[in-house]
């Protein structure tokens, strides 16, 4: 009977927890802990007919001793961290202090520059090794499944992978002229941050949104996509031997970018407070109050996501190409777990990664990225738990 | 010694008052009255070396008896109304009560639908006639000078004018990605209101911004322009005999329209208050606080305006075409009167119309539009007072 403590109760946690309940043989007992206990209680209430025993607790994930107390009282086998990305290190500290395994799903774009994010966590490797516990980093979709796809391609289809293009397409349509799934501040940073890609041993920096391509995605159709920095570039460059170039592309619609640009131009995305009738108001906070609540987008979003990797390399001295991707339908995801595909594609891998640590298949002392483990059980689980993948040996390449 | 009471102390009043001071022989003594007396005092201070004697007063232009008291104490020959357009009728009432002449410059877009605006003022005709006083309506540029151009074309160049296209181009560049010269609420209404034009005796309604043309303006170059409703269409249709079609076009840049549309899409232009941290805040008011102060645009605006009319008709049984227009330079206007061309092109005609009522050239009992008077003295004054006009007998026509 292995217990899991899940920290965080947002959109991704909602999916991961429901998936744990579906997979109750592996997750017979969980605790959901968050700064706002009522959110945990609300979710628990919705899941009262599930077989998994659910506890709830209030915890401040910035506070190591509070985390240690909670872990010591609940005694989980593994902590699944679905809190904010800047709380990763306090939770890892608490896991070290209590000799508890650790899994996280790095946020799509962490608060600090993604480039340096892994460095901080990798520095925990020696301590986790000595403590005899596992830390599994970035068990979401991208990063996460994209690394598993890479390890799978490496294991079964290539002698050497030379080029990886990670393509993240969201063709969801919520019917609003403009709305964001996440904090608009994070969206702004995405499109205003410099891009970067790995080539011949170096990270090459680009201007924000400088490199644009159009790609005709399976089941979605042609979309504009832009080269961004993304954190798995760093770990793949380290663990995929012989790789010469790794790029990450994400789709953005022209209308979305235009709205974002206009809002930025008039100062609506600024975090500097302005004077308004004697009050100090942060324009971005006011914008957030004005935009549709991200939680309201789920029920009305139609369309699909397509996230995957195109590999080019050598097998038996011949050039070879492989595209592995998953297509996830927003409406079907919402029907199943009351979250659309953005949360679904992150929450499902979070559950799977935790399962593999729990059942020992991905359990060894140290701090690990996803591509360091045998991809086969993860790939099998993706098919079983709602994120089936496709192989295409003759994909259109990205220029 | 004829005295003039000027009500209002905004951007247009600033220009008109400075022009009165330049024309001190006609305007030896004026009073500036506004809800905020300090604004009048500030302007008076700037003009302390001028020959015109300037008085200031506080007045609530919504309050007829307050207006009557002020007029009775100052005893002006004429009231120049540069207050808000919805205060036209109270000021006309006060003029009737005190037998004082009245001049206004209808705002570019009045608070109530422009279509019905003249009707209310035209209903004062009998009372002004009986009182033996003059009301001169809309002595700005458009409406105003555009009507004078029409009367001038009619008098000197046509037996019958059949087509009038009024073109209002602003090629000013203030260097901001987005800012508005006026209340953004009025800007929004401009581009979201239905358009209309006069044809064969009827007003034809169009969808907002439905009719777009590109016109290559003298001294400005090609600009996108859109058909809007505008109030002089109504008076020209009434007073230019034989006219078959009257259209009004105004230029809008694509970037301006895109910003306005995006702001509208996210709800920033709404006048419905939203809840923000327990306060009620009107998004449009917040947007106004965020945007550059319209008064700050003057010193930094470069470029020119071009406003004029293209006439097509018959002279001596032959088809004839004439384009009369004025080009006004934002920077030169600012250098002269500390206001850029938008206020300049309205403020100068306001002074001229008042002058012609004062000196008797445009003085007769009743309520009049600009095109009902002899255009020659007005046209002469435009050349003298800063808005010289050009004649082009072979202009490019608007499709």
Q: What is the DSSP letter of B396?
A: P
The CA-atom distances, in angstroms, between A229 and each of A210, A350, B185 are: 12, 22, 40
Does the structure show a pLDDT above 70 at B109?
no
CB contact under 8 A, A177 and B265: yes
Q: Give A206's contacts (C-beta < 8 A, 6+ positions apart).
A: A194, A195, A196, A197, A227
Residue range A186-223, pLDDT digits in tens: 677 778 789 999 999 999 999 999 999 999 999 999 99
Q: Which of A262, A276, A293 to mutate against chain B (most B CBs within 10 Å)?
A: A262
Neighbours of A42 (CB within 10 A): 12
Residue range B143-167, pLDDT digits in tens: 999 999 999 999 999 999 999 999 9
Those of residues 156-175 in B touching chain A at CB distance below 8 A are: none
- Residue B291 is encoded by which pair of tokens? 């945007």
Alpha carbon A214 to chain centroid, angstroms: 24
Q: How many CB pairs under 8 A join A and B?
A: 67
CB contact under 8 A, B290 and A275: no
Q: Tokens 């305007």 map to which residue?
A: B27
CB-based contact A398:A249 (threshold 8 Å): yes
Nearest to A265 among B259, B268, B274 (CB): B259
Q: Is residue A60 part of a domain?
A: no
CB-based contact B108:B312 (threshold 8 Å): no
Q: Is residue B239 part of a domain?
A: yes
For residue A143, cis peptide bond before it (omega within 30 degrees of 0): yes
3-state SS, A15-44, equals HHHHHHHHCCCCCCEEEEEECCHHHHHHHH
Nearest to B266 among A259, A277, A281 (CB): A259
Q: Is residue B137 part of a domain?
A: no
CB-based contact B147:B371 (threshold 8 Å): yes
d(CA B191, CA B196): 12
List the beta strands (DSSP E) in A60-151: 78-81, 101-104, 134-137
Q: What is the per-residue pLDDT for A185?
A: 67
Computed over its alpha carbons, how large is the radius of gyration of chain B? 21
Q: What is the per-residue pLDDT for A39?
A: 95
Does the structure show a pLDDT above 70 at B399?
yes
Q: What is the per-residue pLDDT for B119?
A: 82
Please compute the mean of the pLDDT values over residues B98-110 and round it to a whole number: 80
Nearest to B274 among A259, A276, A290 (CB): A290
Q: What is the per-residue pLDDT for B288?
A: 87
Q: Is residue A284 part of a domain?
A: yes
CA distance to partner chain A, nearest, from residue B271 (Å): 13
Q: Is residue B327 part of a domain?
A: yes
CB contact under 8 A, B275 and A289: yes
Closest CA to B346 of B38, B95, B85: B85
pTM of the complete model: 0.76
d(CA A234, CA A374): 19
Does the structure show a pLDDT above 60 at A107?
no
Q: Is residue A363 part of a domain?
A: no
Alpha carbon B329 to chain centroid, angstroms: 17
Q: Is residue B248 part of a domain?
A: yes
H helices, E strands: number in chain B = 15, 18
Q: Is residue A332 part of a domain?
A: yes
Alpha carbon B372 to chain centroid, angstroms: 17
Q: What is the per-residue pLDDT for B108?
A: 36
- Residue B38 is encoded by which pair of tokens? 């300090």
d(CA A341, CA A343): 5
Please compute the mean of the pLDDT values over residues A42-48 and round it to a whole number: 97
Residue range B238-292, pLDDT digits in tens: 999 999 999 999 999 899 999 988 998 999 988 889 999 899 999 988 998 999 8
CB contact under 8 A, A279 and B283: no
Neighbours of B113 (CB within 10 A): 13
Q: What is the per-residue pLDDT for B231?
A: 87
Residues in chain A within 8 Å Cβ distance of B281: 276, 281, 286
Residue B191: which pLDDT band, with cuts at 50, 70 and 90?
Answer: confident
Residue range A335-379, pLDDT digits in tens: 999 999 999 999 999 999 999 999 999 999 999 999 999 999 999
Residues in chain B within 8 Å Cβ distance of A290: 266-268, 274, 283
Does the structure show a pLDDT above 70 at A113?
no
Nearest to B262 among A258, A290, A291 (CB): A258
User: Phi and psi dihedrals of A172, rounded to 5?
Assistant: -70, 145
Please compute the mean of the pLDDT values over residues A297-313 and round it to a whole number: 95
Nearest to A262 among B262, B286, B290 (CB): B262
Does the structure show a pLDDT above 70 at A114?
no
CATH of residue B177: 3.30.360.10
Burial of A64 (0-12, 13-18, 19+ CB in 10 A): middle
Residues in chain B within 8 Å Cβ distance of A285: 276
Residue A182: which pLDDT band, with cuts at 50, 70 and 90?
Answer: low
Residues in chain B within 8 Å Cβ distance of A265: 177-178, 259
CB contact under 8 A, B268 and A268: yes
**Kind plus residue range of the DSSP H or E element containing A376:** helix A375-384
The residue among A277 and B3 whose pLDDT is bigger is B3
- Residue A214 is encoded by which pair of tokens? 């159009």
Residue A1: which pLDDT band, with cuts at 50, 70 and 90?
Answer: low
Total domain count, chain B: 1
Residue range A124-178, pLDDT digits in tens: 999 999 999 999 999 999 999 999 999 999 999 999 999 999 999 999 999 998 9
d(CA B146, CA B164): 10
CA distance to partner chain A, nearest, from residue B240 (Å): 44
**How are beta strands A245-251 and A195-199 bridged, if at all?**
antiparallel
Please compute the mean of the pLDDT values over residues B194-220 and round it to a whole number: 96
| pLDDT over 90 percentage in chain B | 82
Q: What is the per-residue pLDDT for B204?
A: 97
CB-based contact A202:A152 (threshold 8 Å): no
> Residue B214 belongs to what domain range?
145-337
């Amino acid at each position: 009977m292995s217990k899991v403590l899940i920290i965080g109760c947002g959109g991704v946690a909602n999916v991961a927890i429901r998936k744990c309940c579906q997979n109750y043989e592996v997750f017979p007992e969980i605790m959901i802990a968050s700064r706002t206990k009522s959110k945990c209680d609300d979710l628990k209430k919705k899941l009262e007919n599930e077989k998994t025993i659910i506890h709830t607790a209030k915890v401040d994930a910035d506070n190591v001793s509070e985390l240690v107390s909670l872990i010591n009282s609940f005694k989980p086998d593994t902590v699944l961290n679905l809190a904010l990305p800047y709380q990763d290190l306090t939770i890892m500290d608490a896991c070290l202090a209590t000799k508890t395994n650790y899994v996280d799903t790095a946020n799509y774009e962490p608060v600090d520059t993604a480039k340096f994010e892994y460095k901080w966590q990798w520095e925990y490797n020696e301590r986790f090794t000595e403590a005899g516990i596992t830390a599994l980093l970035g068990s979401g979709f991208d990063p996460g499944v994209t690394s598993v796809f890479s390890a799978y391609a490496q294991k079964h289809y290539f002698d050497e992978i030379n080029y990886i293009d990670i393509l993240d397409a969201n063709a969801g349509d919520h019917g609003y002229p403009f709305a964001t799934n996440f904090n608009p501040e994070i969206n702004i940073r995405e499109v205003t941050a410099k891009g970067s890609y790995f080539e011949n041993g170096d990270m090459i920096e680009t201007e924000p949104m400088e490199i644009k391509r159009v790609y005709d995605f399976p089941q979605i159709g042609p979309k504009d996509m832009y080269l961004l920095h993304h954190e798995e570039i760093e770990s793949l460059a380290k663990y995929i031997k012989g790789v010469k170039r790794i790029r990450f592309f994400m789709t953005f619609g022209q209308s979305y970018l235009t709205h974002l640009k206009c809002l930025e131009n008039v100062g609506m995305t600024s975090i500097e407070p302005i004077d308004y009738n004697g009050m100090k108001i942060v324009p971005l906070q006011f914008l957030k109050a004005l935009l549709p609540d991200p939680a309201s987008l789920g029920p009305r979003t139609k369309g699909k996501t397509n996230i995957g990797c195109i590999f080019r390399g050598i097998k038996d001295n011949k050039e070879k190409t492989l595209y592995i991707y998953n297509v996830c339908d927003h409406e079907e995801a919402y029907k199943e777990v009351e979250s659309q595909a953005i949360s679904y594609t992150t929450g499902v891998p979070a559950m799977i990664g935790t399962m593999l640590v729990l059942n020992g298949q991905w359990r060894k002392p140290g701090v690990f990225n996803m591509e360091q483990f045998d991809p086969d059980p993860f790939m099998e689980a993706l098919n079983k738990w709602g994120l089936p993948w496709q192989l295409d040996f003759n994909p259109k390449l990205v220029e």
